[in-house]
Chain A
């Protein structure tokens, strides 16, 4: 059995400042090379923070990271200087939500890709530009030679996202992090980008972690799904397991809150309430206030973690009653 590419053990992230925020509270994660995991959750659940921990992108002076983060055998939390720079972009790379903001407006696409490759691999500008053209071809941008000299504002949204994928993959990372990469795009372009990412993942043999709040996207791209709520994984499992037999009431709520079977004039099935503020570390089940099937013990203590097999986990007292329906 091969070593996991990504291992997160009991990772906690706390932001200090005017008020303390417990953004991530004990995340455990193992990801094999070539595997795709989607982290699913609503805004503020700590998805992006978990992702940025893998790159150490959080502001150093205000952030306290606990636990253990290992990528490809290296302890990410102890990296610094040169080693951290090589880790970022070389081993782990990231694509962002809005390619208009994530591409530098004053450089051409070709220059931006070449710059990153030159820095990481110490190759000449000529070779960097050649790599950039190769990458633009691989992400299937039409007439890549011309796009090399284009500025981000001269391209369409879908093309910009392709360019950003090319930039992220130019240094052949082992792990690609994607922070809602399709949220800013049209529905028709979304699916193209998702298909492209899947193809490229196979081509490069890299692992992917996808952060999204769209279940459809998660199902489309991933092997496994982790459902995140209030800074912790409340349920993890394969796509099949999550879709077919969700066991956590939050997961059930997310699955129910879609438009399939919605009747005109009737309210959609939404989860009532809002996520907790996370100013203190949760001492009870974070979802209890919104939970349709809560028991007294939910509000007094932490729910038990039920692990069925590696990769299948549910953080709920009802975990063993799969047939139970959510209110």
Chain B
């Protein structure tokens, strides 16, 4: 599964059959939409990491005399918010918390949900019934409502927001993991592995995990966009990040009174959420088609 692309000479490329991941990379690179999405996501991540160096101004410094300046104001290319803070700097710094709130819950839920789903799918029987029916209870609530209820119960704050979003994303991932594992478990190579003396743990670690982790991962990347929106929603409702931290959902909330004065400025955080969310979605779609061997 190595991707030793730099060392590959033309002759070696002919002789060596390309590996699975090399094939995925090749197909992904040919997909212009997915590549564009990847570049945007990478740019957003870099922007978040290097926010203090990229941002032209201090995102917390407010000024009563230059509140709600329009886009294009000299010194404030994207205007200022209701407290006179530089919008560009706040949007750049906002990427940090927004991405963190969007990606972390899905990341944690990916591990927890996969563990639950693969266990249920591989062991089957009563274990499956108990685990999956418990998971089904969570599906009784709409995800937005569940996130709001959990955050409300736990109290506002970044950590509680992350926790409640993680809980929201465990059930769908577990369900996908369970269905993929159940399908894989019945394929003959699992029996062939048993016939060659592999222990149950080894079969799960090597043959089940190897075959299910791709589809689960692709599904999870598709959840990032939902998570971003839910996280912003929680902040918008005052259940996530607290002021004065820059976060896109929270900015959308605090700027909503300015919608009649500076509609374009007020819409900017929403635009950022939109771009980020759709980029993750397109990235996920691209991954899905690139990882499909039969294609």
B211 adjacent to A105 (CB under 8 Å)? yes
- Interface members, chain B 175-216 (any A CB < 8 Å): 187-189, 191-199, 202, 206-207, 210-211, 214
User: Which residues from chain B contact A171 at a C-beta distance below 8 Å?
Assistant: 196
What's the tally of chain A residues with a CB closer than 8 Å to chain B?
Answer: 37
* Interface pair A85/B17, CB less than 8 Å apart: no
B188→A106 contact, CB < 8 A: no
In the complex the two chains form, what is the Cα distance from A136 to B57 in whole Å? Answer: 65
Whether A119 touches B17, Cβ cut-off 8 Å, given contacts A106-B211, A107-B210, is: no
> Which of B20, B194, B210, B293 contacts A88 (CB under 8 A)?
B194
B206 nearest in chain A by CB position? A115
The docked-state distance in angstroms from the alpha carbon of A87 to that of B207 is 20
Interface residues of A: mostly helix, strand, loop or mixed?
Answer: helix
- Residue A41 lies at the interface, judged by CB distance under 8 Å to chain B: no
Complex interface: chain B residues within 8 A of A120 (CB): 196-197
A84-104 CB contacts (< 8 Å) to partner B:
84-90, 93-94, 96-98, 101-104
Q: Are B195 and A86 in contact (CB under 8 A)?
A: no
In the assembled complex, B243 has its CB within 8 A of some CB on chain A: no
Cβ of B155 under 8 Å from chain A: no
Q: Do the beta carbons of B192 and A94 come within 8 Å of each other?
A: yes
Bound form: Cα–Cα A115–B194 in Å:
13
Asked if A221 is at the interface of the complex by the 8 Å CB criterion, the answer is no
Q: Cβ of A57 and Cβ of B15 under 8 Å apart?
A: no
> Cβ of B263 < 8 Å from any Cβ of A?
no
> Could you tell me the distance in whole angstroms from the C-beta of A3 to the nearest C-beta in chain B?
23
Q: Is B19 an interface residue (CB 8 A)?
A: yes
Q: A84, A94, A96, A104: which contacts B207 (Cβ < 8 A)?
A: A104
The listed residue (A94, A119, A150) touching B202 by CB distance below 8 A is: A119
Report whether A101 and B187 are in contact in the complex, using a CB–CB cutoff of 8 Å. Answer: yes
Min C-beta distance of A7 to chain B, whole Å? 20
**Number of B residues with CB within 8 Å of any CB on chain A:** 25
Tell me, yes or no, whether B16 is within 8 Å of chain A by CB: yes
Between B19, B188, B206, B211, the greatest number of chain A beta carbons within 10 A of the residue's beta carbon is seen for: B188
A57–B197 CB distance below 8 A = no
CA distance A154 to B17 in the complex (A): 9
Q: Are B189 and A103 in contact (CB under 8 A)?
A: yes
B17 interface neighbour in A61, A86, A106, A149, Cβ under 8 Å: A149
Which residues from B are CB-within-8-Å of A90? 197
Contact with A along B14-29 (1 / 0, CB 8 A): 0111011000000000
Q: Considering the complex, which residues of chain A in the window 42-56 have a beta carbon less than 8 Å from any beta carbon of chain B? A: 55
Indicate which residue in A103, A149, A153 contacts B16 across the interface (CB closer than 8 Å): A149
Cβ of B16: which chain A residues have Cβ within 8 Å of it?
146, 149
Q: Which B residues are in CB contact (< 8 Å) with A87?
A: 197
Q: How far in angstroms is the closest Cβ of chain A from B146?
A: 34
Complex contact B19–A57 (CB within 8 A)? no
How many Å from the CB of A65 to the closest CB on chain B? Answer: 16
What are 9 contact pairs spanning A and B, CB under 8 A? A55-B195, A86-B197, A89-B197, A89-B198, A104-B210, A107-B206, A146-B15, A146-B17, A149-B19
Query: Can you name 19 extra interface pairs (CB under 8 A) apart from A94-B192, A102-B189?
Result: A57-B191, A88-B196, A89-B195, A89-B197, A90-B197, A94-B195, A102-B188, A103-B189, A104-B193, A105-B293, A106-B211, A108-B19, A115-B206, A119-B197, A150-B17, A151-B19, A153-B293, A164-B192, A167-B196
Binding site for B on A (CB under 8 A): 55, 57, 61, 84-90, 93-94, 96-98, 101-108, 115-116, 119-120, 146, 149-151, 153-154, 164, 167-168, 171
